[in-house]
Amino acid sequence: MTAHPLAPRLLLLLLPLLLLSACDQGSSASSSSPTTSASSKPAKTTALRFSAIPDQNSTELKEKFDAMAKHLSQKLGVPVEYVPATDYKASVEMFKNGDIQLAWFGGLTGVQARQAVPGARAIAQGDTDTKFVSYFVANKSAPIQPSESFPTDLAKLSFTFGPASSTSGRLMPEYYLRKNTGKSPAEFFGTQPAFSESHDQTLELVAAGKVQAGVVNFEVYDRRVKDGKTDPNVVRVIWKTPQFADYNFTAHPDLDKQFGPGFIDKLQATLVAIDDPKLLSAFPRTKLIPAKNEDYAATEQVAKELGFVR
């Protein structure tokens, strides 16, 4: 059969249209595929994530620190998220791994975190944290009386420390126990020491008579007495320790890399400027003041003596 004389010319005219249609179909298939779309890749977070040691009721802490996160976000102009910690060690591990960039630590956990992350800085502390104390407390039925000197009659009582990594609930009380008796807690009490999960729990255990005595953060005790949650006639203060440095906000050095040079200084200024009693109640403190690593040199020395850090 003889080809029509216009067939070659018609094919040349239709070829660009056929190629264009094929390209459109390929492009449409590509854009509909979730595995090749650039928009399917998760965006890198730019939030400042912070945590706090769970030294008080965890539900109350989350409510208060969520409000703190909102305040910091407004003042700093960056997203800020509060990340609860399951326990004291978890807060240090999150900081060490870079999962959080700021934390409200105790004296001991702050020392541990800064030792694990070179360049980390203590930047703020409560106005009472330069002269913190612990209260040794006892149930009203316990055969012991308040004393100006270390109460050696504690050896006869059932006793609990606070959280095992707490500065005011374990580190400093153990240090003063050893200093005044020349014995380890196990030697003094005749058994391995018990530990609570928080200062609130310690006070509740003593109040209920489940243990006869314990040791707590003085701020938590005073706040609970003021709020009517602890009766000072039932849970009596037997002895208070000498003063030591305790809580602090410690900043991860990555903050200046993530948000620009000088951001940590800006964060410090923002924290120190907080004057809202509701925000400060998260700690609880009446105000925050500047802090530096050297403020915790004595706490670090005690931690080394007792083997909590190298």
| Domains, the chain | 48-130+245-305 (3.40.190.10), 133-240 (3.40.190.10)
In whole angstroms, how far apart are CA 132 and each of 123, 204, 247, 299?
17, 22, 9, 11
More confident of the two residues 25 and 157: 157
Rg (CA), the chain: 30
Taking all residues of the chain, what is their mean pLDDT, rounded to a whole number? 86
Q: Are 122 and 299 in contact (CB under 8 A)?
A: no
pLDDT by residue (tens digit) across 60-108?
A: 778 889 999 999 999 999 999 999 998 889 999 999 999 999 999 999 9
118 pairs with which residues across the strands?
Answer: none
Is a pLDDT exceeding 60 seen at residue 40? no
Tell whether the model's pLDDT for residue 301 goes beyond 50: yes
- DSSP one-letter code for 293: G
Average pLDDT on 241-267 reads: 96
Phi, psi (degrees; rounded to nearest 5) at 134: -110, 150
| Cα distances (angstroms) measured from residue 161 to each of 34, 135, 201, 275 | 55, 11, 10, 33
Distance, in Å, from the CA atom of 171 to the CA atom of 93, rounded to the nearest integer, reads 19
Q: 132: which DSSP letter?
A: B
Q: How far is CA 143 from CA 138, 153, 178, 257, in A?
A: 9, 8, 22, 57
Q: Which of 121, 103, 119 is nearest to 55 (CA)?
A: 103
Query: Each residue of 150-208: pLDDT tens digit?
Result: 999 999 999 999 999 999 999 999 999 999 999 999 999 999 999 999 999 999 999 99
Angstrom CA distances, 256 to 44, 92, 150, stand at 17, 20, 46
Rounded Cα gap, residues 164 and 88, in angstroms? 8
| Tokens describing residue 189 | 């009490």
